Structure 1
Amino acid sequence: MDLIAVRPHLYMFRFPIGQAYLWHDEDGLTLVDAGDVNAAAPIEEAVRGLGFDPAALRRIVITHGHRDHYGAAGELADRHGAEVIAHRLDAPVVRGETPTPEPVLLDWELPLYEHALTVPEAPPTRVDREVADGEVLDFGGGAVVVHSPGHTDGSIAVHLPRHGVLFTGDSVAGVGQVMLGVFNTDRERARASMRRLAALGADTVCFGHGDPLTEDAAAVLKASADRDSGLQIEHG
């Protein structure tokens, strides 16, 4: 696992597939996503390496119910007393009550999807708080939940308006270029979600896959959303 400092208060943990983010407030730590089932120990080691105590972990926000995003959440929450948070529509998937919806794959996504399936299955994981669009979480000066369906029904982004930070989950990707995330269950809803996230004008954009966007982030994300919409108009 790689540890990357993104900006003050914000760090990224990069795993072989996917990544998670650590936000540091004076009164505690927040994880946005938690990696796969094997990620708990590396995350704890990295947190200690930053000079923090993993016992200060207050909450784990799960952006959506895919195995590479919540696999270690239950172990970390049980060990450190953190609250697990997810959107109400993906919470049953995280708990293991309903199966993970299958994406509608484009041809070029098929080999990528086969690779993604090498991530170990995530265990059923408790969700302590189910959230909906517009709810505010107690970190980062007020973190706003932004429902961003399309990748999954219950995908969320998290916006920190006071800091200009946006966590997109897999609604947007930054692999090679900023683009619509892959493996969507509803591509049209995913496009609409990307446009909504771009309109937030964040200064720092953190993706579920790919390098965070820290320069001209608002303009780049908007241009990417506009380009994707233009391609849809041309080929739709």
Structure 2
Amino acid sequence: MRVTRITPHVYKISIWIGLPISVWAVKENDGMMLVDAGIGQMGKGILKEIEQLDIGPLKRIVLTHGHPDHVGAIERIRSGRDVPVYAHPLEIPYIEGELPFPDRKKASVLVHPGLTQPLPDSEDGLSKIGGLKPFLTPGHSPGHTVFYHVEDDVLLGGDLFTSTRRGKLKRPIPLFTYNMPLAVASGSVVKYLKPEILSLCHGTDIRQPSLQYDAYAGKWGKM
């Protein structure tokens, strides 16, 4: 496993299995928060790495979405720990096996039913959770959500995009994206937020992604 400190509060924990798979540890005032939980075999390594980071006890897990490479290690990470798990309410029925993901014929129980709580909301949308502001970005999955660290100006993008080694925006993996035009449109969140850094689960991190979005949308929005 590789750990990269992206910003003062955000660390990226990655493994390579045919492609990079990453989660994020976010330092908070009262401990740390994990964004996504990777595949099952990452559980032991994630626990080891966050212990070595020594940025406080794990307080919560938040999910960009419910695909297996983002929730697979939840059980191992939570073993012996009463750690709450949050996701967008639109995503929870798919995570808990009530509904099949739109691109799949059968539902699968990926997280024990009743474990995942809805992200808190307010009159103007989703509320901040710790230092992160969530934004709903559907298309890759119905409740796909990205998390913006306001203080550090970094957007944790989950599978909203993938990226090349040269830091170019690419569309999310088509095989697992049920509505590509919607996913491409959701990517416009980078133009709204204009983060200094976009960090992705699959691929390299990108500086000033808003400068690439129009070209990206022009290419992938037509396919």
Q: What CA deviation, in whole Å up to 9, does each residue of 1:136-156 have, x standing for no partner?
A: 23322xx21100011111100
The answer to whether the 8 A contact 1:32-1:63 is kept is yes
Cα shift at 1:131: 4.9
1:199 pairs, out of 180, 192, 198, with 192
Matches within 5 A, 1:63-102: 63-102=64-103
Report the AA paired with residue 193 of structure 2.
L
**C-alpha spacing 1:45/1:232, structure 2 compared with 1 (3 Å):** closer
- TM-score in terms of structure 1 length: 0.80
Equivalent in the alignment of 1:45: 48
Percent identity of the aligned residues? 25
Equivalent in the alignment of 1:168: 157
Cα shift at 1:163: 2.1
Alpha-carbon separation, structure 1, partners of 2:100 and 2:119: 18
Secondary structure at the residue paired with 1:41? helix
Structure 1 alignment gaps of length 5 or more: 104-120
The answer to whether the 8 A contact 1:88-1:131 is kept is no
Matches within 5 A, 1:1-236: 1-15=1-15, 16=17, 17-52=20-55, 56-102=57-103, 123-125=110-112, 126-131=115-120, 134-140=125-131, 143-176=132-165, 177-183=168-174, 184-213=177-206, 217-218=207-208, 221-231=209-219, 235=222
User: Bigger CA drift: 38-47 or 131-140?
Assistant: 131-140
**C-alpha spacing 1:8/1:122, structure 2 compared with 1 (3 Å):** farther
Alpha-carbon separation, structure 2, partners of 1:66 and 1:138: 21
Instruction: Report the structure, 1 or 2, having the larger helix content.
Output: 1
Alpha-carbon separation, structure 2, partners of 1:37 and 1:137: 28
Aligned-CA RMSD value: 2.3
- TM-score in terms of structure 2 length: 0.84
Alpha-carbon separation, structure 2, partners of 1:192 and 1:23: 27
Alpha-carbon separation, structure 1, partners of 2:133 and 2:84: 17
The answer to whether the 8 A contact 1:9-1:23 is kept is yes
The answer to whether the 8 A contact 2:7-2:152 is kept is no
